[in-house]
Amino acid sequence: EAQVTQNPRYLITVTGKKLTVTCSQNMNHEYMSWYRQDPGLGLRQIYYSMNVEVTDKGDVPEGYKVSRKEKRNFPLILESPSPNQTSLYFCASSPLVTRSEQFFGPGTRLTVL
Amino acid sequence: GQQLNQSPQSMFIQEGEDVSMNCTSSSIFNTWLWYKQDPGEGPVLLIALYKAGELTSNGRLTAQFGITRKDSFLNISASIPSDVGIYFCAGQLGRAGGTSYGKLTFGQGTILTVHP
């Protein structure tokens, strides 16, 4: 089954404790992206990648890191999480030519205490 | 960054009614999209629009790419209970080789509730 998977689905952590949210897709898509969803603000793009070893900032990249060492994986790293990073996070992927027609993962709900 | 203003923020309608929502931007976009998010899940693409003035249907859904490239609307006809969810517009500005090629900007969402 074609899908985007994220792990973990739920995470409660404390301020300053480094964490990684993994994202993997099995559709051989070039384009992958991370978003955060907050009430009243919709989805805001954090980082995106148009291919292996190519990453670019979205609208809200501060406090996040990403890497794209393999085509299928695009982990989101929070080196020192803070409470304002409590949010619902989505990973998405698409073929590069239709990069706006994205397939979304199920989401990761992160709480930073 | 780019901002999209989506309205209304929420709608409460009776089953069978038609629904209309829209999205406006202060900047032009080259692509407009509409996504739906069911509770507890990620957004799913409903309709993609690539040309100014384009009108596209997907079953009971119809969307249009505004002629000024700064707006789009989505209509749902004869709503049913499973139409419940959050609807997002999204716009993409970038052209190949440009700095915004991979960016996608979303509206704040319209929460739709359908009463049987």
pLDDT of B27: 87
pLDDT digits (tens, 9 = 90+) for A40-56: 899 999 999 999 999 99
CB contact under 8 A, B106 and A42: yes
Q: Does A55 touch chain B (CB under 8 A)?
A: no
Q: Does A79 touch chain B (CB under 8 A)?
A: no
pLDDT of B102: 75
pLDDT of A2: 86
Among A45, A50, A102, the residue with its CB nearest the CB of B45 is A102
Mean per-residue pLDDT of chain A: 94
Cβ density class B71-85: b for 16+ within 10 Å, e for less: bbbbebeebeeebeb
pLDDT digits (tens, 9 = 90+) for A6-31: 999 999 999 999 999 999 999 999 99
Is the CB of residue B110 less than 8 Å from the CB of residue B46? Answer: no
Among A31, A48, A100, the residue with its CB nearest the CB of B33 is A100
pLDDT of A37: 96
Nearest residue of A to residue B2, measured between CA atoms: A59
For residue B96, what are the contacts with CB-CB under 8 A and spacing of at least 6?
none
CB contact under 8 A, B45 and A101: yes
Give dist(CA A63, CA B39) in Å, integer.
Answer: 28
CB contact under 8 A, A42 and B33: no
Give dist(CA B25, CA B30) in Å, integer.
Answer: 12
Among B44, B104, B108, the residue with its CB nearest the CB of A100 is B104
Count A/B contacts: CB-CB distance under 8 Å: 67
Per-position pLDDT tens, chain B of length 116: 557 899 999 999 999 999 999 999 988 898 999 999 999 999 999 999 999 999 999 999 999 999 999 999 999 999 999 999 999 999 987 655 555 667 889 999 999 999 98
pLDDT of B62: 98
